[in-house]
Amino acid sequence: MKQIPSIERSIAQPHKLGELRQAQKDWRNDPDVLTRLTRRLSTTLSLETQLGIVADELGEIVPFDSLNYRHRIARQDFVFASGLGGQHKCEYRLNLEGVSYGTLTLYRRKKFSEEELEGIETILGVVICPMRNACHFLTIEQAALTDSLTGIPNKRALDDNLLRASQLSARHEESYSLILCDLDHFKTVNDNHGHVVGDHLLQQAAEGIERALRTSDSVYRFGGEEFAIVLPHTSDQDARDVADRIRKAIASICVDCGDGKLSVTASCGVATHLGNETPEQWLARADDALYHAKHAGRNRTQVFAAIG
Ligand SMILES: Nc1nc2c(ncn2[C@@H]2O[C@H](COP(=O)(O)OP(=O)(O)OP(=O)(O)O)[C@@H](O)[C@H]2O)c(=O)[nH]1
């Protein structure tokens, strides 16, 4: 005969259920400050929102003029600031199990008392765990938008920015230009010198492009040996100049690969956003311009408007 396993149900503990009901009532009705704070923090994984909540709850207990938080997350500086001024400060390095989760500083015109400092430390002791989770979430979010080889934003990040740039360009009737930049004959680099040298060259190219841009411009790794650059407030002729500057920067890279020096050239396609064009249509025109640059012999820039 087949043995059917049975599940034994443990007997309900009436007094425990009563305690749970009471705890729920207390939790809902009149939570103490620490319960309310942890509850509010647990509703979000956004570090910015969490810091807003901390500023809000902390300010109720220990008034301050301004709060600053700074942390380096995934190669980027995360900065949060609330309020203004105050010459007295108290600064806390937030550490949990030997890992740093940033520095929080409070400023005030009036000196903080010992009792107030104790209160701030109690609050920070409670917020550190939710903040650690938010820091980890931000790290993961940024990793999903970053190319692991070059450290620059990836195709997913480009998709987000192209959509935003298309909308802004349409709304403000401003020129937004897109450059697609593709290294020439890159397969030969890999074939002749190996993937390690190829990877190094891609890293150098990403750095070279970044150096050739203004801070308002942004560069993305679009595919294998292809980069995309979004240029706000830039006409097609100005974008052509930027593309030529990028090509120059790439051509000046010189990699020592033991058996000689190696350098590469690049081809660029430029397209300036048109009226109600979708990001896909915009990208397709830049790709078309790049195709023409390759077809015309490589190591050159082609602007879409000039194709005819
Ligand atoms: N080392 C390295 N190579 C890559 C990476 N991604 C793509 N590639 C290589 O890039 C090369 C691209 O080759 P193709 O598409 O034929 O283009 P190409 O040789 O550059 O020729 P043109 O673009 O026509 O000038 C392939 O050999 C890919 O393997 C990468 O992350 N690292």
114 is catalytic: no
CB of 225 closer than 6 A to ligand 1? Answer: yes
pLDDT for residue 308: 53
Average pLDDT over residues 184-210: 95
For the question of an ipTM over 0.90, the answer is yes
pLDDT for residue 173: 83
Residue 305's contacts (CB-CB under 8 Å, 6 or more residues apart) are 236, 271, 272
Distance in Å, CA 225 to ligand 1 centroid: 5
Residue 1, pLDDT > 60, answer no
Which protein residue's CA is at the shortest distance from atom 29 of ligand 1? 187
Tens of pLDDT, residues 16-27: 889 989 888 877
Q: Compute the distance between CA of residue 26 and CA of residue 37 in angstroms, rounded to an integer.
A: 15
- Single out the catalytic residue among 225, 226, 277, 280: 225
pLDDT for residue 7: 63
CB of 191 closer than 6 A to ligand 1? Answer: no
Q: Compute the distance between CA of residue 19 and CA of residue 136 in angstroms, rounded to an integer.
A: 35
Residue 48, pLDDT > 60, answer yes
The position carrying tokens 């350098």 is: 263
Domains of the chain: residue spans and CATH:
29-144 (3.30.450.40), 155-306 (3.30.70.270)
CB of 21 closer than 6 A to ligand 1? Answer: no
Q: Which atom of ligand 1 is nearest to the CA of 182?
A: 23
Q: Chain-centre distance of CA 14, in angstroms? A: 50
Mutate to test the pocket of ligand 1, among 186, 195, 268 (most ligand atoms within 8 A of CB): 186
Tens of pLDDT, residues 8-17: 666 667 788 8
Q: How far is CA 59 from CA 30, 56, 77, 101, 212, in A?
A: 19, 5, 25, 21, 44
